[in-house]
Structure 1
Amino acid sequence: MSEAATGTATSILDVSDVSKSFPASKDLLGRVTARLQAVVQASLSIAPGETLGLVGESGSGKSTLGRLVMRLLDVDAGRIVLEGSDITEARGSELRAARRKMQIVFQDPQSSLDPNWLVRDIIAEPLRAYGVTRAEREAATERLLVDVGLEPTHGARYASEFSGGQRQRVAIARALALEPNLVVCDEPVSALDVSTQAQVLSLLESLRDRRGLAYLFIAHDLAVVHHISHRIAVMYLGRIVEVGPADEICRRPRHPYTEALLSAMPSPNPADRRQRILLTGEMPSPVNTPPGCRFQTRCTHAMDRCREIEPELVAFGDVEVACHLHDSGPILAGASVTVIPRK
């Protein structure tokens, strides 16, 4: 494993072989007869001040992994280490202390903000919960509003009075109230129009650079992820299939799934546009995953080995990829999958 998978002493977050499943069906006696495999042996690490983008189709397990990192869900297996402390099974005061160091921004600001509270109370709530005095809360709330591009007077209004982009700024301010070192951004711009997306992304980048924040940035749009991320992890049907530096992943994809995602990215330069790759069929059910490689039912490069043996992540320089094209068949050995003629 590379540093991207195992983490280092300087990592703010290390996730090692984390898995999570949910009951999918039960018999008449209430016994679980099938389970949905949402996340399977996922490993990643994030350094201070770094943005790791997590990308994949809907249903790939991205948001579940984000909630596992936040300990909003308990893991079935694996370890989560935050700033050197194992929080996998943290409870009570230990988990409460960890939550000061990490916060989350959800996809839909309208549903994540209480419509009956004033904005200043929404932002100050984490501070109140951790015993910060009223005077300190008021001062901090005004600073946070300014930091996210709003006016101090906006604190006296309700969230419903703001646009979608402004509401997301309020959600970001709330996430920063306790001065965390890690922020999980779960599809934070997907509910916004394109121009507002750019503004919020610019804000997130500015806050990261000024505060030294680390982000786990979850999205389904690879163009958005590439814009903000230092490294990218590609997830498919619960498994991470490729991870590496953002520019390297987008220039030379090693996995056919990454190649397909990249082909959908718009480009203003005609010379940079890729041939569109349309994946046939739906993503298989996470309740009944195919044998071997999980992507083999939609991959035009699939071989017999792909239908029998599930590939493991293998490192090629700074990039890791889980694909048999690098050890069987064409034996790409870390080269871009784009060199293979398409069927």
Structure 2
Amino acid sequence: MKREAWSPCCLPISERIMQTPRVTFIIATYRRVDALHSTLRSLQLQTCQQWEAIVVGDCCGPETGAMLHTLADDRIRYYNFPERFGEQSGPNSFGLHLATGDFVCFLNHDDLLLADHLDYALGQIAAAGADFYIGQAANGYQLAADASGAIMPVFTSVLPLQPDLVDLIKEDDYAFDPSSFWLVRRAYARKVGSWQHSSRLWRTPLRHWIMRAWRLGGVFSFGDRVTGLRFWTQNVRASTSLYDVETTEHQYMIKMMEARSVHDVHAFIAQQLQEAASKRGPARRKKPIGTRRALQKALFLHLGIDHLVVRSWFSRRDKGGLHKTLLQKRTGESISQPMDIDSLLKNPEALRVL
């Protein structure tokens, strides 16, 4: 009889927690305490428990620390910036410096990972010998009531659609967003370096970072099943600030993950996706890469020339325009001078709350 290969993820939870973390989750957060709680619960429900979470508050109030204290999980460290940075690039760079896991994930504070996400992603990485893994996530754009009247999310689409990095050079900045469903070898992530602030970029900080990772020439691997959940449902509540509402749909999914098997949760999401696909009709076939796109890819990979940056420079487009708009929409703020992250890293423990 063939003996099953030993894996630390097969250990009892009490023993797994004592192991060196395989994955460091870096979670930038601001005000969304209810969503953050659900995100962290999705980590606690993972079948692979070898992880740590570095939560980086962007000048959060005391309610964030109070919620984290109730979780009573030694794998979660919480640092809080003394003033607002205004976007994820600073907290992500700060957390990357402190990470100790073999892999890192830049997890959004309002995205959820299904219970088998880590085990599946780590298996895909091992099979491909990959440096960078990109997982599939279901997108919830709608809300509905279940048979009991509880508000639930409705998942209608999946991203990324194609395992093709050439889409990185498109102007659309959302094909590989968010970073919640990536796993990157820590050594590789540090070669890529810190995230750049949006005020210096014509791309978003996320797209700029993953394009730099692509140009390093590492091995990329793609998941072929949904193991993450992204919620756009806050946009349904357009009458109030996006940061001033509780998102009960997150709690709905966590309760389901706590009460039902991984298989059942996958089946629930798959059924919603199938119903949405049947309403849309046959999927469009992906067009083969054209000559222009192939040239843009070659210029970037071999010479580091990003066609969008060139066009933006000639058209005198403002850097960081998208992030300025999002910040104003979400919190009503305008932050012109970002805080110096390097100065905070001289003594990061001074910012530690938990």
TM-score calculated relative to the size of structure 2: 0.24
State which structure, 1 or 2, has the greater radius of gyration over its C-alpha atoms: 1
Higher relative CO (Cα under 8 Å, sequence separation at least 6) belongs to 2
TM-score calculated relative to the size of structure 1: 0.24
Name the structure where helix makes up a greater proportion of residues: 2
Name the structure where strand makes up a greater proportion of residues: 1
